[in-house]
């Protein structure tokens, strides 16, 4: 297992899961006073960029959709 494949930017995650970027960001920060949906082990801020784990994305949003090529 390549550990670098297990961590991605929030922007990359939104592309892979085909969702609105704001949804992942709000899951990192919390929304309207709610706690974040990701745990401290699943997401962290690196400068201005949120990093999320594949495991966190799968726990919160389900498996990555399969894309037809």
SS3 per residue for 4-37: HHHEEEHHHHHHHHCCCHHHHHHHHHCCCCCCCC
- The H helix count followed by the E strand count for the chain is 3, 3
pTM equals: 0.89
Q: Model confidence over 4-55: pLDDT tens digits?
A: 889 999 999 999 999 999 999 999 999 998 999 999 999 999 999 999 999 9
Tokens of 20: 């609105």
End-to-end CA distance of the chain: 24
Residue 69: pLDDT band with limits 50, 70, 90: low
Burial (CB count <10 Å: 0-12, 13-18, 19+), residue 27: buried
């Amino acid at each position: 297992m390549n550990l670098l494949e297990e961590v991605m930017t929030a922007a990359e995650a939104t592309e892979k899961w085909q969702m609105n970027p704001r949804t992942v960001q709000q899951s990192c920060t919390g929304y309207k006073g709610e706690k974040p949906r990701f745990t401290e082990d699943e997401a962290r801020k690196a400068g201005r960029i949120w990093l999320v784990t594949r495991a966190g994305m799968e726990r919160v949003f389900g498996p990555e959709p399969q894309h037809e090529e």
